[in-house]
């Protein structure tokens, strides 16, 4: 008999609808039952692509004996962390405080008033590796609940107060960040052998690489060297899927070879942007290839018919984790011609023993290829013949049982993908990318914003649900800014202003920073406020970026001040732990620069401004903003203020180039326009 998850839209929750565990979603019905029956809550948090979540489900949640213990003694609640990151954040803090580490599946025990008193991550069905069996944990909690209630109450109070204390900003505002010193420290701690920071597992760190690219535009050659090396190391395959494009979640080894195989939208969107920007400043074809392959993978496999982007692709298939992506030599010989196999063997270094379990090969270009200047470089691999070889492998792979796909649309993550496609379409002159970005933006605006203007976080099966977080609002502002630059549609800027005003209102706190959860979300023991960038940017870092954008478009220095106040609150932490504050460092880099503002005006259509746009779009310009007004855009209330009082000269399309709101003479001549742009110090190719 199905439990209470059968009507849920989250694929992760829906996967558990037939468990013998009497699961509830996180809702008032479940919470009220816990209060009425005075039972502890067992809260299990995970997500669809989580390998160990599936393992614990098979071992414990599908087991009738375990289910009986849970059903008789607990109210069991399932939460998809991607739908409710606010709930996940609170109880992850609890488990980290209890055990010193966190992860998923997250297994937390709460009092009926939602205070955590015990927790962990994965618990096995039998004791092993120093972990108790899950049933042992359950029975121990049942015994303590009935016989030592004061002990549980005391633990819950202590833990809850510790969580609440963490939401209060403890740091005194720091000095302005020394970004050059941070680059120096990153270079010193960087692994120049294999790339990255620290030991295995290794994560790709796209926000930190983006910061380094930004600093490279400030003529910091050390930053460029680190970014270039790391992007090269990841591009050679393993964690990067050389056959199908896109990146897996992280590398389990130091060499970026054996990944944890799930593919997340947020990783691929951010990494596509990073490789795009690296290509723009270096001209390296390798980076262009990875950009296109990653974006084309998202278009092909992670885009819904309606235009939204799917959340993730699982690591697992029925054959086992990673089997979908691995190749045995005999299969490769069968699929490829002898000459194709020899070419693959020469470039990839495959073997009968394999580099993965059970004789499977995870395809990766030989290190000797990249290390030998006289040999074939990575960029040379993508000849039409080798492209066809990889396409043949991809078509063969597609006949295997595919990994599961989480078709949930998440506003925050979609915003990253929209921004990546918009920027790539503009910089690479790819109209298909521009269409993908605009379709994605329209999907969010049409399906995840209510008629009252309320933004939702998730969409599935035609239904928007879950309260939007700070990162959803601020991330969508950044995405719509990128789409605005495609055709300068004033409706996008109107949406940016609407979202920005809502963000300020519903997430406001007592200081310069914001809460992550909206003020009308009442099912939390505390309003979380996480400042650290994790796999995605901190909501507050995105909000600081939104303040920076509005300040520069609308001539409002107060928003620059607010962004700088927010950065000051995390400055000490960001300086001490830069790998955890990559997006904050980007915003800090922007806020310390004199920004270039470009206004284009025409009494004709957008086509009349194309010559100016072609010049502007030749380079990656993170320290510049641009707006345009054309004939059919009546009124100016929806326009950014940089377009106010900007007439055309003699009715001819005209450009205004300003630096820190100090403007040069308006120009109609293209060479003069290019000269004015180039006088700004950050736009040359490196």
Listed in order, strand segments (DSSP E) in 359-471 are 405-410, 456-460, 463-467
Query: Is the pLDDT at 372 greater than 60, yes or no?
Result: no
State residue 685's pLDDT score.
45
What are the structural domains of the chain?
11-166 (3.40.30.10), 179-320+404-591 (1.50.10.10), 329-397 (no CATH), 596-678 (no CATH)
CA dist., res. 679 & res. 553, Å (int): 21
Angle between helices 557-576 and 539-554 in degrees, nearest 10 = 150
CA dist., res. 528 & res. 635, Å (int): 41
Query: Which are the contacts of 115, defined by CB distance < 8 A and separation ≥ 6?
Result: 156, 157, 159, 160, 525
Phi, psi of 340 (to 5 degrees): -65, -40
The per-residue b/e assignment along 419-432, b for 16 or more CB within 10 angstroms, e otherwise, is: bbbbbbbbbbeeee
Contact 508, 440 (CB under 8 A): no
Contact 98, 119 (CB under 8 A): yes
State residue 172's pLDDT score.
64
Query: Is the pLDDT at 380 greater than 60, yes or no?
Result: no
State residue 370's pLDDT score.
45
Query: Which are the contacts of 571, defined by CB distance < 8 A and separation ≥ 6?
Result: 171, 173, 174, 175, 176, 177, 588
Q: What is the mean pLDDT of residues 61-75?
A: 97
Q: From the CB of residue 541, how many other CB atoms can be counted at a distance below 10 Å?
A: 30
Give the range among 187-196, 382-391, 392-401, 485-494 with minimum mean pLDDT. Answer: 382-391
Contact 411, 396 (CB under 8 A): no
Q: What is the mean pLDDT of residues 82-88?
A: 96
Listed in order, strand segments (DSSP E) in 286-428 are 310-313, 405-410
Q: Residues 198-210: pLDDT tens digits? A: 999 999 999 999 9
At 435, list the tokens.
């269409």
Distances (CA, A) of 405 to 46, 244, 265, 570, 674: 15, 15, 11, 36, 46
Who has greater pLDDT, 553 or 165? 553
Omega cis (within 30) before 223: no
Contact 643, 660 (CB under 8 A): no
State residue 127's pLDDT score.
92
* Helix, strand, coil percent content, the chain, rounded in steps of 5: 50, 15, 35
Banded model confidence at residue 319, pLDDT cuts 50, 70, 90: confident
Q: Widest CA span of the chain, in angstroms?
A: 87
- Indicate the pairing of strand 596-601 with strand 463-467: unpaired
- Helix spans in 468-578 (H): 470-487, 490-506, 539-554, 557-576
C-alpha closest to that of 571 among 135, 171, 6: 171
Cα 629 to its chain centre, rounded Å, is 32
State residue 382's pLDDT score.
53
Task: Give the helix/strand (H/E) hosting 450.
Answer: none
DSSP 101: -
Contact 290, 277 (CB under 8 A): no
Q: What is the mean pLDDT of residues 470-485?
A: 98
Query: Which are the contacts of 5, defined by CB distance < 8 A and separation ≥ 6?
Result: 13, 14, 16, 17, 23, 24, 25, 78
Query: Is the pLDDT at 350 greater than 80, yes or no?
Result: yes
State residue 638's pLDDT score.
77
Angle between helices 285-301 and 431-447 in degrees, nearest 10 = 40
Q: Residues 585-614: pLDDT tens digits? A: 999 999 988 899 999 999 999 999 999 999
Contact 535, 125 (CB under 8 A): no
Q: What is the dihedral of CA 612, 613, 619, 622, to 10 degrees?
A: 110
Query: Is the pLDDT at 541 greater than 60, yes or no?
Result: yes
Q: What is the dihedral of CA 632, 635, 641, 644, to 10 degrees?
A: 80
Angle between helices 134-147 and 149-166 in degrees, nearest 10 = 110
Q: What is the mean pLDDT of residues 142-148?
A: 97
Banded model confidence at residue 373, pLDDT cuts 50, 70, 90: very low
C-alpha closest to that of 308 among 479, 137, 172, 531: 479
Q: Residues 479-498: pLDDT tens digits? A: 999 999 999 999 999 999 99
State residue 519's pLDDT score.
93
- Indicate the pairing of strand 624-629 with strand 596-601: parallel
Contact 513, 477 (CB under 8 A): no
Q: Residues 450-461: pLDDT tens digits? A: 999 999 999 999
Query: Is the pLDDT at 381 greater than 60, yes or no?
Result: no
- Given the structure tokens 């050390």, which residue do they identify? 222
C-alpha closest to that of 661 among 547, 549, 589, 555: 555
Phi, psi of 150 (to 5 degrees): -65, -35
Task: Give the helix/strand (H/E) hosting 119.
Answer: strand 116-120
Q: Residues 432-451: pLDDT tens digits? A: 999 999 999 999 999 999 99
Q: Residues 354-368: pLDDT tens digits? A: 999 999 999 999 864
What is the total residue count of the chain?
A: 686
Q: What is the mean pLDDT of residues 305-315?
A: 96
Q: Residues 41-67: pLDDT tens digits? A: 999 999 988 888 999 999 999 999 999
Query: Is the pLDDT at 170 greater than 70, yes or no?
Result: no
Omega cis (within 30) before 651: no
Banded model confidence at residue 2, pLDDT cuts 50, 70, 90: confident
């Amino acid at each position: 008999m199905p439990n209470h998850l059968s009507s849920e839209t989250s694929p992760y929750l829906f996967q558990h609808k037939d468990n013998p565990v009497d699961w509830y979603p996180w809702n008032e019905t479940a919470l009220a039952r816990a209060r009425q029956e005075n039972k502890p809550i067992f809260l299990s948090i995970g997500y669809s692509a989580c390998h160990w979540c599936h393992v614990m489900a098979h071992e414990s949640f599908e087991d009738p004996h375990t289910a009986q213990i849970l059903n008789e003694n607990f109210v069991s609640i399932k939460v998809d962390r991607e739908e409710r990151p606010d709930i996940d954040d609170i109880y992850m803090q609890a488990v980290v405080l209890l055990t010193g580490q966190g992860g998923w599946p997250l297994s937390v025990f709460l009092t009926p008033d939602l205070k955590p008193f015990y927790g962990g991550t994965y618990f096995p069905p039998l004791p092993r590796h120093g972990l108790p069996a899950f049933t042992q944990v359950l029975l121990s909690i049942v015994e303590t609940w009935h016989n030592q209630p004061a002990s549980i109450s005391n633990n819950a109070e202590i833990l809850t107060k510790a969580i609440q204390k963490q939401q209060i900003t403890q740091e005194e505002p720091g000095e302005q960040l020394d970004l050059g010193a941070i680059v120096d420290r990153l270079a010193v701690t960087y692994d120049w052998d294999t790339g990255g920071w620290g030991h295995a597992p290794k994560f790709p760190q796209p926000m930190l690489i983006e910061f380094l690219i930004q600093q490279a535009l400030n003529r910091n050659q050390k930053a460029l060297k680190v970014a270039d090396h790391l992007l090269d190391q990841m591009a050679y395959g393993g964690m990067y899927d050389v056959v199908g494009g896109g990146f897996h979640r992280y590398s389990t080894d130091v060499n970026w070879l054996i990944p944890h195989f799930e593919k997340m939208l947020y990783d691929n969107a951010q990494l596509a942007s990073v490789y795009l920007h690296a290509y723009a400043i270096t001209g390296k074809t390798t980076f262009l290839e990875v950009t296109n392959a990653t974006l084309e993978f998202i278009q092909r496999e992670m885009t819904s018919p309606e235009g939204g982007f799917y959340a993730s692709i699982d690591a697992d298939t029925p054959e086992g984790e990673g089997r979908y992506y691995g190749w045995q030599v005999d299969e490769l010989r069968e699929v490829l011609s002898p000459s194709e196999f020899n070419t693959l063997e020469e470039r990839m270094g495959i073997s009968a023993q394999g580099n993965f379990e059970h004789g499977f090969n995870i395809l990766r270009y030989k290190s000797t290829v990249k290390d030998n200047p006289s040999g074939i470089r990575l960029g040379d691999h993508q000849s039409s013949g080798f492209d066809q070889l990889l396409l043949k492998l991809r078509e063969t792979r597609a006949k295997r049982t595919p990994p599961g796909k989480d078709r949930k649309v998440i506003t925050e993550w979609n915003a990253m993908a929209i921004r990546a496609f918009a920027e790539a379409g503009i910089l690479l002159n790819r109209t298909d990318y521009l269409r993908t970005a605009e379709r994605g933006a329209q999907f969010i605006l049409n399906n995840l914003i209510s008629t009252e203007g309320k933004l939702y976080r998730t969409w599935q099966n035609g239904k928007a649900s879950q309260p939007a977080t700070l990162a959803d609002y601020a991330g969508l502002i950044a995405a719509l800014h990128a789409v605005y630059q495609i055709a300068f549609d004033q409706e996008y800027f109107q949406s940016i202003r609407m979202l920005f005003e809502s963000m300020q209102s519903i997430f406001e706190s007592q200081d310069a920073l914001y809460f992550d959860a909206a003020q009308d979300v009442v099912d939390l023991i505390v309003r979380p406020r996480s400042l650290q960038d994790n796999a995605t940017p901190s909501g507050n870092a995105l909000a600081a970026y939104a303040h920076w954008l509005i300040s520069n478009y609308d001539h409002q220095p107060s928003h620059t001040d607010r962004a700088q106040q927010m950065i000051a609150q995390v400055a000490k932490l960001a300086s001490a732990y830069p790998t955890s504050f990559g997006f904050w460092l980007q915003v800090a880099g922007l806020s310390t620069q004199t920004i270039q503002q470009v206004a284009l005006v025409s009494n004709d259509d957008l086509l009349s401004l194309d010559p100016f746009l072609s010049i502007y779009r030749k380079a990656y310009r993170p320290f510049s903003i641009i707006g345009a007004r054309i004939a059919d855009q009546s009124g100016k209330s929806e326009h950014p203020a940089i377009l106010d009082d900007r007439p055309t000269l003699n009715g001819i399309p005209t450009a205004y180039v300003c630096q820190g709101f100090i403007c040069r003479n308006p120009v109609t001549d293209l060479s003069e326009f290019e000269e004015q742009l180039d006088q700004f110090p950050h736009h040359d190719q490196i």
